[in-house]
Amino acid sequence: MDLKTCVEVAVGKRPADLVLKNGRIVNVLSCEIHEGDIAIVGDRIVGIGAYEGVDTVDLDGRHVCPGFIDGHVHIESSMLSVPEFAKLVVTHGTTAVIADPHEIANVIGAEGIRFMLSSSKYCPIFVYIMVSSCVPASDFESAGAELSALDIEPLLSDKWVLGLAEVMNYPAVIACDSEYLDKLALSDGRPIDGHAPGLSGRELCAYITSGIGSDHECTSLEEAREKLRLGLTVMIREGSQARNLDALLPLVQPDTLDRFMFVTDDKDVDDLRAEGHIDFMIRRAIAGGLAPVHAIRLATYNPARYFGLDHLGVIAPGKLASLVVLDSLEECRVARVYHAGRLVADSGLVIDRDAAKRRPQILRSSINVHWLEPEQFAIAAPHAGECRVHVIEMIEDRIDTGRSIESLKVVGGQLHADLQRDLCKVAVIERHQASGNLGLGFVRGLGLSAGAIASSVGHDSHNLVVVGTNDHDMYTAAVHVVKLRGGFCAVRDGKVLGEVALPIGGLMSTVDAETLSAQLRALHEAAQALDVKLRRPFMAMSFLSLSVIGALKITDQGLVDVGQFKLIDLVVNDE
């Protein structure tokens, strides 16, 4: 509609296209709840008050709030394609996400980012992109691509690209690495997201001075409070593996309300279906004592303002008509969702009006592994007797890790898994250039009593990650993932017990959410038959190779001491 029509409807000279009547508006601008009709022309709200329309919907006293916004998400972690992800989260009230395609960028580079942009067309939500800033995440892993400032610059001209995504390599920023400073300089006032777990003091000041405006890695009140004081917007995260809402919620007060937003970061399809998306965080926050209108503000106005999306996040004249109708405010129970003036979800069912307009996007295969043999999974001992080795300690619902040192007996000149102490072997196999790189180590916390599990999802470079009790099953699991063109599998005694194919970059499925969830359920049952004790074993395993967070991680290049940011030997040198 043209401006004249909008003004005439707003002033009452002609009826609106659509009027939502008898609703209780959750006003995140004034932080109050009040009554009023919402008049809509085309995709815009033109008036709040008393209006008549060509079409009228009686909300019967239900609450209506702005569409929810996820301020930082890796869609790839849902394991769904972009359209299937959009169809799932819109039923939970999400009408926009700020996505960092960091995972697929590490696999296929700028081609992967363009693939995500193209896949976002004609979806029932807005998918905005922050260009991945750290590809690869560090020098201690082999990614499938590299993104320099020259690669990033043309992507920033796309209208759906908002800025620079999480800057994970904070040591490089603090050291004034020219490559990273060149990337930061490209922002030209656009938002730059941070990723600085545990960073404090002068180093944190230096990091923020570079132009970074947010952080989603706070795990304690003390950490979040310091970052808040120094000017960062704190993204409160509640994903599948990392859950920080309970720890950080006490810091959200009326005086600091505008400095927080909700994000999911990494949340898989099972948790999205079982718990919800941003609506789940709103429910949890309200149950934790936050006022409902304040909780909804963290999911709407705050992220919209931070990212410069002035047309989203509020219910006001001139803004986009992306709205969520709630059956219950306290429980954030979504009844109906309007996006850009159109009904896109009703009673938990998506109304996918533009499905016929979407065209399948083609992406080349991303699995390219050097020939494997079972013997490559053997860990040779440097001497007879016993060896003391570094061990990665997995932590439930955390993406970081602990570390320990354990003594292992040398048998046949090799070091083996010790199931009595929950010590399994872990291997990371380079899967992009068929280089033959293979890192080996030991991990505790998964609970395997037999067999092996494998994944082509291995943050952030997404090489093959295999955890197992014996070399032959580890070999079998790795080979099977290659045959799947990416995905997960569980193996025992050379037999595949369960599998899920992820042929899109080795990260995402081609099936719908319900089908994928059923596949994952069968896979987790297979993993449980091996006595795996973690709630999300494959997601937990995928973070074993994330070399920028935790005490000890492993990549295709070997063990990484994250604190010292250097590669170390598996066997402890006692000299």
Q: Summarize pLDDT for 406-431 with one digit per residue, the tens.
A: 999 999 999 999 999 999 999 999 99
Residue 447 has pLDDT above 90, yes or no: yes
> Cβ contacts of residue 152 below 8 Å, gap of 6+?
131, 133, 164, 183, 186
**CA 262 to mean position of chain CA atoms:** 12
pLDDT one-digit tens code per residue, 157-172? 999 999 999 998 888 9
Q: Sheet holding 44-49: strands in order across?
A: 44-49, 37-41, 16-21, 53-58
**pLDDT at 559 exceeding the cut of 70:** yes
In sequence order, the β-bridge partners of residue 15 are none
Q: Considering the chain, what is the average pLDDT of its residues?
A: 95
Phi-psi region of 309 (alpha: psi -120 to 50; beta: other; left: phi over 0): beta
Closest to 133 (Cα-Cα) out of 64, 97, 180: 180
Domains of the chain in start order, with CATH, are 66-309 (3.20.20.140), 374-568 (no CATH)
466-511 tens-digit pLDDT: 999 999 999 999 999 999 999 999 999 999 999 999 999 999 999 9
> Residue 575 above 80 pLDDT?
no
Give the DSSP per-residue string, 71-122: EEE-GGGGTS-HHHHHHHHHTTTEEEEEE-THHHHHHHTHHHHHHHHHHTTT
The answer on pLDDT for 397 being more than 80 is no
Entry pTM: 0.93
Instruction: Tell me the pLDDT tens digit for each residue of 32-69.
Output: 999 999 999 999 999 999 999 999 999 999 999 999 99
Q: What is the DSSP letter of 480?
A: H
pLDDT value at position 396? 84
Task: Report the distance separating Cα 219 and Cα 212, nearest Å.
Answer: 19
Q: Would you say residue 297 has pLDDT above 80? A: yes
Other Cβ atoms closer than 10 A to 178 = 10
Q: What is the mean pLDDT of residues 521-531?
A: 96
Instruction: Give the pair of three-digit tokens for residue 394.
Output: 């997995």
Question: What average pLDDT does the segment 305-332 reach?
Answer: 97
Q: Which residues contact 287 (CB under 8 A, 6 or more apart)?
A: none
- Arithmetic mean of pLDDT, 343-352: 96
Q: Is the pLDDT of residue 76 over 90?
A: yes
pLDDT of 1 strictly over 70: no
**Rounded average pLDDT over 19-28:** 98
pLDDT digits (tens, 9 = 90+) for 540-557: 999 999 988 889 999 999
Q: Which helix (H) or strand (E) holds 165?
A: strand 161-167
Beta bridge pairs of residue 467: 426, 453
What sign does the dihedral 191-102-228-315 (CA atoms) show? positive
User: Tokens 């973070």 — which residue?
Assistant: 543
